[in-house]
Amino acid sequence: MAEKKIQPAPPQGIELKCVDDIVKFIQSKKLRVVVETGVAFGVSTNAILGAIPDDGLLVSIENNPYTLNSLLVLPKYYKKWLFVYGDSADVLSNVVKLVGSIDLFWHDGLHRATAMKQEYETALPHSRFIGSHDINHPGAGTVWNDFVEEHNMEVLLRRSKWAFARNPDWKPSK
Ligand SMILES: C[S@@+](CC[C@H](N)C(=O)[O-])C[C@H]1O[C@@H](n2cnc3c(N)ncnc32)[C@H](O)[C@@H]1O
């Protein structure tokens, strides 16, 4: 039988400053339940898992199986981590319904305006805060600004490439 050829994952990543902001955001607001799209090698995943409490939950969605070969996620975090393999366009709506009440939805998957808008809108009814990487990506257009304006969201932190905003309609019981 021919040996299966494993393709290397493309180099992807996230700035350490952004990781620092995510961790501080989660810790300062004492967030427990996080959903993220875009795992790559797990830099944000590992950081989020380290920032949430032991009874917290992180659900991570990724559609590139080859990134799994190089995942950085520490085994000690597995008990509070659920990895969902799939295209967020297909799986995110079920994930947010199953999780129910999300403290932070973090986008770092497909940086295309339509995909970003779909993710933000899908997560919003279930999420207290929405955060996004690559808000200034060439493919993103003005999607982040339009989204926060349309939903009257308070932007709590904004850097050139990423931001966090509060959902004004979020209710804890959802
Ligand atoms: C910028 S990287 C994520 C970086 C990661 N958060 C980190 O801390 O290093 C984007 C990731 O999103 C994944 N991705 C792209 N489109 C996606 C989609 N439609 N659904 C799920 N994951 C997607 C890519 O395979 C890639 O691993």
CB 22 less than 6 A from any atom of ligand 1: no
Quote the CA–CA distance of 166 and 86 in Å, as a whole number: 27
Nearest CA to ligand 1 atom 3: 38
Residue 9 forms part of a structural domain:
no
Residue 56: pLDDT band (50, 70, 90) is very high
Query: Does 172 reside within a domain?
Result: no
Of the ranges 11-15, 32-36, 110-114, which one carries the lowest mean pLDDT score? 11-15
Percent of the chain with pLDDT strictly greater than 90: 84
Average pLDDT over every residue of 70-82: 91
Return all residues near 9 (Cβ < 8 A) that are at least 6 apart: 40, 41, 64, 66, 67, 69, 70
Q: How confident is the model at residue 113 (pLDDT cuts 50, 70, 90)?
A: very high
Give the pLDDT confidence score for residue 8 in this predicted structure: 53
In this predicted structure, the answer to whether residue 5 has a pLDDT above a threshold of 70 is no
Average pLDDT over every residue of 149-154: 98
pLDDT at 1 over 60: no
Quote the distance between the C-alpha of residue 5 and its chain's center.
29
pLDDT of residue 9 exceeding 60, the answer is: no
Domain hosting 157: range is 16-166
Which residue's CA is the nearest one to ligand 1's atom 16? 110
pLDDT score of 90 more than 80: yes
Which numbered atom of ligand 1 lies nearest the CA of 43? 8
SS3 content of the chain, % helix, strand, coil (to 5): 40, 20, 40
Instruction: Check which CATH number belongs to the domain holding 100 and give it.
Output: 3.40.50.150
Ligand 1, atom 11, lies closest to the CA of 38
Q: Give yes or no for residue 97 having a pLDDT over 60.
A: yes
Q: Is the CB of 62 under 6 A from ligand 1?
A: yes
Number of domains the chain is built from: 1
On the CB side of 135, how many CA atoms lie within 13 Å of its CA?
23
Q: Do residues 128 and 102 lie in contact, with contact meaning Cβ atoms separated by under 8 Å?
A: yes
Paired sense of beta strands 81-85 and 57-62, if any:
parallel
| Residue 72 Cα to ligand 1 middle (Å) | 14
144 assigned to some structural domain: yes
For residue 12 and ligand 1, the question of a CB distance below 6 A is answered with yes
Residue 64 has pLDDT above 70, yes or no: yes
